[in-house]
Every structure is written in C-alpha cells, then in structure tokens.
C-alpha cells in the first residue's frame, strides 16, 4: 500500500492530480478508467480538505492506494468528525438541483465500481476495476 499525507490546502489537489497522472502512465490505464479515477479521487480529497478538515492547514488528509491486476484501490481519510453518509439528498431530484452541495458523493458513487465509508464517515474507500 502506498501512502501520501497532505495538508488541508486546496492547492494540494494538484499533487493528487499529478499522482493520478503518474499511476495512469505507469500502469497504462485505459482513458475511461483514468477519467473516473481522476474525477472521483480529486472529489474525495477535495471533500476531505474542505468538508472534513474544514480547510484547517494543520489537519492532514491521508491518501492510500494500491494497484493490482484487477483493480485500483484508493482510501482517503481526514481528521474531521465525519458525516452521515447514509442520509444524503439525491442531487438529481428537482428540489435539490439548485443546491451547490451534495453532488460529490453522488458523483464518486457513480464513478467508482465500489464505494465504502467507515463509521463515523471520515474515511472513504474507492475501488476501480481494471477488467
């Protein structure tokens, strides 16, 4: 398992984008997998920085990942209190269309092949199948 620890600063999104680019080149990922991976992982890290750690620079976001023949696995953890991932509004419903929050988890869930949260909700695991 590979690990990267980031401070909760928005500019660290660039570090994650570069990591995804490196992984894509190293493992010769199909463009579909690369696109899903980039959007979902960047969204997860952004959520950890902004919502989990509330942009407190002293709080870390840990990104762990592993690649094998069948999948790419990412785990993103923050130092926040977590959230109720079982009770999220559907951003596609008419009453939620205008809301600016609530789309990230929805997006991650549709891009990753498997999405899991820990209890209390300050860690997300994403699996992207390669086959």
What DSSP line would sit under 3-30, residue for residue? Answer: EEEEES-GGGHHHHHHHHHHHHHHHT--
- pTM attached to this predicted model: 0.92
Domain spans in the chain, listed from the N-terminal domain onward: 2-129
Query: Looking at domain 2-129, does it have CATH number 3.30.565.10?
Result: yes
Cβ neighbours of residue 115 under 8 Å, at least 6 residues apart?
A: 108, 109, 124, 125, 126, 127
Return d(Cα 107, Cα 17) in angstroms, integer.
17
Model pLDDT for residues 2-23, shown as the tens digit of each residue: 999 999 999 999 999 999 999 9
Which is more confidently placed, 90 or 9?
9
Query: For residue 39, which phi and psi values (nearest 5 degrees)?
Result: -65, -45
Dist CA 75 CA 61 (whole Å): 10
Pairwise CA distance, residues 11 & 49, whole Å: 10
d(CA 120, CA 84): 7
Per-residue pLDDT averaged across 28-36, rounded? 96
pLDDT, tens digit (0-9, with 9 covering 90-100), for 91-121: 677 776 666 566 788 899 999 999 999 999 9
């Amino acid at each position: 398992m590979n690990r990267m620890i980031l401070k909760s600063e928005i500019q660290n999104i660039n570090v994650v984008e570069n990591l995804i680019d490196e992984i894509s080149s190293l493992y010769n990922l199909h463009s579909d997998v690369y696109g899903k991976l980039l959007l979902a992982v960047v969204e997860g890290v952004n959520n950890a920085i902004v919502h989990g750690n509330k942009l407190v620079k002293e709080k870390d976001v840990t990104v762990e990942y592993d690649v094998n023949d069948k999948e790419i696995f990412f785990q993103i953890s923050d130092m926040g209190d977590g959230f109720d991932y079982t009770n999220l509004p559907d951003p596609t419903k008419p009453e939620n269309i205008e809301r600016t929050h609530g789309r990230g988890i929805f997006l991650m869930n549709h891009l990753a092949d498997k999405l899991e949260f820990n209890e209390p909700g300050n860690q997300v695991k994403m699996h992207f199948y390669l086959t």
